[in-house]
């Protein structure tokens, strides 16, 4: 039956994927079916080879989960039948026959799944492999080898995993193919008939490694230290000896193709982040100052509203815009908030343009802090509210004119009222806070009708994140005949969140007695949502970078996630404030980012490292620090500390600097415990997972030696939380 390409889109859709589960155990067959269907796959079930023939005779099958021992025959019969077809097979077996596994890989089997105690935990890995296979259709591998046999072996092996394979036997043709096609990985032989692979790589290093960033795997029949050294120095990612093990080639090609995919995802996220910044720049008034208040950045909207050029503003202080009506006390309070308290300030500022005209802005000024809570800069995002302020001022002035005709004044008042009501969110309450009036804009943003709002209190839209102290201050202010201003987070009828810049004014009668309260609001929801989106994008980029570091050493994304969660728990019980807990949680996934600079020959070595190899491995801490240390962003600075110090030991015998005791930053001390706890309890290529009893005994022994004794006490007091996280995110 013809096999069609349903998966050529970048976004894989499991609904288009048909899986045949051929397994005579009814319980295993049922569980596999339920798991695959839950993830969106279409499943067909067979318990015998005869039933399987009927199913694939009538249906297009993309993947087969195949048990070898079946009631009416040997499953190898199907392996042979589908050997030269696009249908891919996962073998399910209780056997562990290495010869059978190697032979099966040569015949196009995708993976060999052992039916052991961890079998059902492997189903998620199968679905990830399927998704990766379908994405492989978008990747091209260039094989440069003068042996037709090697070309054919690699072509069959990798085309079985849906890669597009280009082959050639000399470097001239390799260069032409590289210019013609989008090559994602190169497998390069060293000894070619008329040329040398390493010479080709050296001559084209800038093009292949630096500009196109193509991973190169060197293969050679003779491998010595010079080939390994020269290949890695020229930028190759690995060196493999011929004759190669098919499984090794598959795993390493998959690893580097997946690495490049994740690298592109990070580039995409970075590009998206820049677009968010551009969106803010186009839609808002944005400026930044250094800690002394000198302007270091303004966007075009700022120049437009102020009438100054960027050259006229950069290096100046903001008082270049200061209006005579703005009192010194106002700015003292502003600076006390952002400089002393180091909190965001929100409010309205009256400014003066270059021409002398007045303009008003509603502003949020946020201090940007480093890991030691020192102010790096201040960033402000503002909105031009000049028109609203002028309407209100004129409205106030007109009503106070004693010689104006009463009828004319009322007419004008109604017109200004209409203008204000159409552009603002308005409500009025009685002295007990019960709503007596809302305008259309209030109903639109809250989702409630007037009938649902009148007679209720504003708590009907109150968000749970708003602390009661804010509203106590609000009522104290307005009952004292003062105007209250602030930003409030509300919840609409449908549950969605919205933010409003709020001014509440006490309204008095002719005897100067307060009779009601009037609230005037501007919608800031889009601004806050954009801020959250930018922050979440930054965190995702950092997490993905952490995953890249772990991918190099064949560790899973769950290792990154677990270390972050362990670090968060330990920071919380240590008493760290919420801001630093979140900072460590975000930064800790990058503790091993320096591993990107360690060669695979060392990083993936299954045996014990030599002394020289271990010394080289230890450099990953300093490599990670050097990658991150230049950033002024708090999270990346924190990540540089974690990377640099998570291998230091309490007694001073750690690396890279031999720090001792509290010389080690608390972030490094916490991440060290989290990383070691996860490493001991996880399988690695060079060791099995330790049982809990052995792991906890190790931490008891190393208390005050490798680890901070106070943190170890907290670790044991809360070890159930660590076990719960480990079991929830098990590999």
pLDDT attached to residue 607? 77
Q: What is the DSSP letter of 688?
A: P
For the cut 70, the answer to whether the pLDDT of residue 557 exceeds it is no
Handedness of CA 434, 439, 440, 446 (dihedral sign): negative
Q: How confident is the model at residue 270 (pLDDT cuts 50, 70, 90)?
A: confident
Higher pLDDT residue, 63 or 684?
63
Closest to 308 measured CA to CA, from 353, 246, 364, 365:
353
Integer angstrom CA distances of residue 19 from 32, 60, 228, 320, 644: 10, 9, 42, 70, 47
Can you tell me which residue has the tokens 């080879």?
49
Neighbours of 696 (CB within 10 A): 16
Q: How many whole angstroms separate alpha carbon 696 and alpha carbon 715?
A: 10
pLDDT exceeds 70 at position 538: no
d(CA 350, CA 392): 14
Tell whether the torsion through CA atoms of 135, 140, 146 and 151 is positive or negative. Answer: positive
243 preceded by cis ω (within 30°)? yes
DSSP character at residue 609: P
Lowest mean pLDDT among 270-284, 335-349, 476-490, 710-724: 270-284
Interval 56-63 mean pLDDT:
90
Residue 352 has pLDDT above 80, yes or no: yes
pLDDT tens column, 20-59: 999 888 888 888 898 888 888 999 999 999 999 999 889 9
pLDDT of residue 145: 93
Q: Give the orientation angle of helix 611-618 with respect to helix 620-628, to 10 degrees.
A: 20
- Which residues fall within 8 angstroms of residue 714, CB to CB, at 6 or more apart? 570, 573, 574
pLDDT band at 594 (very low <50, low <70, confident <90, very high): confident
Map tokens 């009907």 to a residue: 460
| Residue 609 buriedness (CB in 10 A; 0-12 / 13-18 / 19+) | middle
Which of 290 and 77 is assigned the larger pLDDT?
290
- The residue ranges of DSSP E strands in 169-312, in sequence order, are 185-189, 216-220, 238-241, 285-289, 295-298
Residue 404 pLDDT greater than 90, yes or no: no
Query: What pLDDT, on the 0 to 100 scale, is given for residue 279?
Result: 61
Q: Residue 209 in contact with residue 194, Cβ under 8 Å?
A: no
pLDDT score, position 684: 66
Check whether 526 has a pLDDT greater than 80: no
Query: What confidence tier does 309 reach under pLDDT thresholds 50, 70, 90?
Result: very high
- Segment 350-369 shows an average pLDDT of 90
Those residues whose C-beta lies under 8 Å from the C-beta of residue 394, and which sit 6 or more positions away, are 416
In this model, does residue 406 exceed pLDDT 50? Answer: no
Q: Highest mean pLDDT range out of 190-204, 421-435, 630-644?
A: 190-204
Spatial strand order in the sheet of 375-384:
295-298, 285-289, 375-384, 358-369, 345-352
Question: In angstroms, rounded to a whole number, what is the distance separating the alpha carbons of residues 621 and 616?
Answer: 10
Comparing CA positions, the residue from 258, 255, 311 lying closest to residue 554 is 255
- For the chain, the average pLDDT equals 84
- Measure Cα distances from 142 to 204, 249, 292 in Å: 15, 14, 56
Q: Is 321 exposed, middle or buried (0-12, 13-18, 19+ CB in 10 A)?
A: buried
Least confident of 22-26, 93-97, 571-575: 93-97
pTM for the predicted model, two decimal places? 0.48
Q: Which of 140-144, 353-357, 419-423 is the least confident region?
A: 419-423
Q: Check residues 656 and 371 and name the one with the higher pLDDT.
A: 656
């Amino acid at each position: 039956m013809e096999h069609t390409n349903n998966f050529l889109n970048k976004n894989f859709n499991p609904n288009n994927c048909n899986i045949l589960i051929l397994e005579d155990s009814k319980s295993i067959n049922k569980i596999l079916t339920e798991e695959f269907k839950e993830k969106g796959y279409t499943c067909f079930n067979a318990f015998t080879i005869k039933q399987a023939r009927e199913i694939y005779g009538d249906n297009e099958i993309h993947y087969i989960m195949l048990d070898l021992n079946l009631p009416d025959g040997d499953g190898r019969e199907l392996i042979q039948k589908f050997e030269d077809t696009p249908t891919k097979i996962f073998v399910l077996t209780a056997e562990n026959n290495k010869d059978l596994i190697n032979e099966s890989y040569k015949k196009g089997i995708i993976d060999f799944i052992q039916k052991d105690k961890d079998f059902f935990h492997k189903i998620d890995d199968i679905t990830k492999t399927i998704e990766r296979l379908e994405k492989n259709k978008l990747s091209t591998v260039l094989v440069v080898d003068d042996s037709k046999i090697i070309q054919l072996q690699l072509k069959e092996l990798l085309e079985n995993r849906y890669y597009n394979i280009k082959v050639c036997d000399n470097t001239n043709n390799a260069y032409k193919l590289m210019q013609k096609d989008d090559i994602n990985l190169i497998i390069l032989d060293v000894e070619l008939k008329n040329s040398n692979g390493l010479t080709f790589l050296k001559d084209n290093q800038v093009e292949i490694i630096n500009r196109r960033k193509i991973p190169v795997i060197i293969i050679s029949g003779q491998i010595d230290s010079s080939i390994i050294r020269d290949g890695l120095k020229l930028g190759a990612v690995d060196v493999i000896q011929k004759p190669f093990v098919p499984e090794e080639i598959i795993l390493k090609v998959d690893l580097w193709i997946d690495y490049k995919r994740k690298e592109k995802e990070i580039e995409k996220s970075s590009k998206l982040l820049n677009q968010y910044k551009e969106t803010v720049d186009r839609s808002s008034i944005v400026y930044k100052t250094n800690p002394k208040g000198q302007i270091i950045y303004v966007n075009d909207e700022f120049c437009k509203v102020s009438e100054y050029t960027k050259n006229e503003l950069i290096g100046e202080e903001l008082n270049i815009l200061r209006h005579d009506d703005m009192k010194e006390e106002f700015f003292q309070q502003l600076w006390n908030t952002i400089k002393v308290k180091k909190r965001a300030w929100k409010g309205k500022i009256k400014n003066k343009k270059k021409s002398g005209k007045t303009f008003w802005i509603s502003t949020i000024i946020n201090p940007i802090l480093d890991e030691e809570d020192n102010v790096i800069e201040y960033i402000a995002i503002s909105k031009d509210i000049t028109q609203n302020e002028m309407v209100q001022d004129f409205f106030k002035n007109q009503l106070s004119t004693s010689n104006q005709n009463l009828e004319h004044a009322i007419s004008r008042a109604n017109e200004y009222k209409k203008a204000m009501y159409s552009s603002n969110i308005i409500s009025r309450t009685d002295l007990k806070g019960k709503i007596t009036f809302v305008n259309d804009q209030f109903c639109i943003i809250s989702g409630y009708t007037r009938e649902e709002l009148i007679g209720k209190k504003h708590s009907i839209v109150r968000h749970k994140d708003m602390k009661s102290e804010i509203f106590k201050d609000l009522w104290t202010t307005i009952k004292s005949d003062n105007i209250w201003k602030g930003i409030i987070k509300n919840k609409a009828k449908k549950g969605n969140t919205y933010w409003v810049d709020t001014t509440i004014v006490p309204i008095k009668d002719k005897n100067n007695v307060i009779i009601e309260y009037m609230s005037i609001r501007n919608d800031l929801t889009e601004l806050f949502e954009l801020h959250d989106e930018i922050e979440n994008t930054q965190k995702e980029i950092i997490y993905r970078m952490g995953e890249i570091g772990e991918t190099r050493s064949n560790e899973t994304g769950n290792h990154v996630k677990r270390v972050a969660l362990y670090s968060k728990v330990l920071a919380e019980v240590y008493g760290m404030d919420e801001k630093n807990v979140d900072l460590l949680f975000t930064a800790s996934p990058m503790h091993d980012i320096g591993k990107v600079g360690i060669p695979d020959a060392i990083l993936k070595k299954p045996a014990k490292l030599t002394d020289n190899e271990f010394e080289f491995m230890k450099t990953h801490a300093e490599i990670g620090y050097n990658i991150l240390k230049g950033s002024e962003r708090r999270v990346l600075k924190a990540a540089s500390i974690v990377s640099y110090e998570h291998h230091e030991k309490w007694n001073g015998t750690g690396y890279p600097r031999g720090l001792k005791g509290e010389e080690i930053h608390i972030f490094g001390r916490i991440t060290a415990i989290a990383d070691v706890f996860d490493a001991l309890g996880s399988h690695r290529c060079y060791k099995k997972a330790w049982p809990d009893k052995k792991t906890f005994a190790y931490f008891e022994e190393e208390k005050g030696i490798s680890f901070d004794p106070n943190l170890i006490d907290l670790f044991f007091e809360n070890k159930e939380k660590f076990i719960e996280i480990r079991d929830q995110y098990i590999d």
